[in-house]
Amino acid sequence: MGKIVDVTFTLKTYKYEKPFHITNSISKEATNIEIKVILDNGITGYGEASPSYRVNGERAEALMAMEQFIKEQIAGRDLRDYRHIFEITDKLLSAPSIKAGIQYAVMDALSEEIGLEVYRILGGAKDTIETDKTVGIDTVENMVKEAVKIRNEGFNVIKIKVSEDLKKDIEAVLQIAEATKGAEYIVDANMGYTPKEAIHFVKTIYSKGVDIAIFEQPVPAHHIDGLKFVRFHSPFPVAADESARTKYDVFRLIKSEAVDFINIKLMKSGLSDALAIVEMANTAGVKLMIGCMGESSLGINQSVHFALGTGAFLYHDLDSHLMLIKEEFRGKFRQEGPRIFV
């Protein structure tokens, strides 16, 4: 059984097809790190880190400087004892995307070594999932146009970014719902509302007879009381995303009864904390969705296998690779519109 002899980081920049606008942030490109784990028998495993300054305080250029140190930490380790590698990389609290990419690269190498797909190593709960696709912040007219395009591509769940302008946000959601009948909606405020604004938003939408499947991160990340206030006054389920990075965050959210849903992202938690969050949420009766940062197909592959293996998610928001200019496809999965298969 192979031992790790080398780990390499490669900086990769991917351009968005069009600038991706969410609350207080416009992304033109994603700067990711391809992580390669090499075994003494020549087998390789790949992972990807998609660092987020907005959520994790990370910068890819700074993370690249950790390559040699990480290699020293995990060189010589046997893949079968991957929990040891999880423990070492759990220390990467200020580099969670690196933690995710390394933990996945190790699973990918193990998968190659034993000839079993990662989703099967993780439990093989499902062999297909369906993802949503996202409408970024824009004029109401452009947002409706984009939503109709997404609906026509076959997507049944449309994610809508809001919160820079309450009145316009309400108008955008109502018009999108009118133009894309039969779809479900996840609405993501990316921390941009006060609790009172958030309640006004959902109550107005509800009063017009429109349904929202998940209202994501209405208030700032550390405002747990605010999340709880919104949860108990909202007619729709409320999710934590930016508030839920580690398993410790999720433990506090559950204890506070602050949310109905947790949005797990490997780039916030790595595989190790994501696995813990799945078990904790299942135990507490909190529902789960899975999301992404700016991963290419290589990084989305990680979340696809995690979602299929655990079978833990009611909603899948794994669309970043669809929003980036198409490059060589690196996923170990197939995709037809919203439907993802292994």
| Choice between 240 and 271, CB closer to Mn ion | 240
What residues make contact with Mn ion under the rule CB under 5 A? 188, 216, 241
Residue whose beta carbon is closest to Mn ion: 241
| Residue 265 appears among annotated catalytic residues | yes
Single out the catalytic residue among 247, 265, 268, 332.
265
Q: Longest C-alpha distance within the chain, in Å?
A: 63
| Choice between 244 and 275, CB closer to Mn ion | 244
* Residue whose C-alpha is closest to residue 305's, from 89, 81, 83, 120: 120
| Choice between 101 and 192, CB closer to Mn ion | 192
Single out the catalytic residue among 133, 159, 161, 268.
161
Sheet holding 339-341, edge to edge: 128-130, 339-341, 334-336
3-state secondary structure string across the chain: CCEEEEEEEEEEEEEEEEEEEECCEEEEEEEEEEEEEEECCCCEEEEEECCCHHHHCCCHHHHHHHHHHHHHHHCCCEHHHHHHHHHHHCCCCCCHHHHHHHHHHHHHHHHHHHCCCHHHHCCCCCCEEEECEEECCCCHHHHHHHHHHHHHCCCCEEEEECCCCHHHHHHHHHHHHHHCCCCEEEEECCCCCCHHHHHHHHHHHHHCCCCCCEEECCCCCCCHHHHHHHHHHCCCCEEECCCCCCHHHHHHHHHCCCCCEEEECHHHHHHHHHHHHHHHHHHHCCEEEECCCCCCHHHHHHHHHHHHHHCCCCEECCCHHHHECCCCCCCCCEEECCEEEC
Q: Which residue pairs, CB below 8 angstroms and at least 24 apart, start in 279-284?
A: 280/247, 280/250, 280/251, 280/254, 281/250, 281/254, 281/312, 282/312, 284/254
| Choice between 70 and 176, CB closer to Mn ion | 176
Catalytic residues: 161, 265
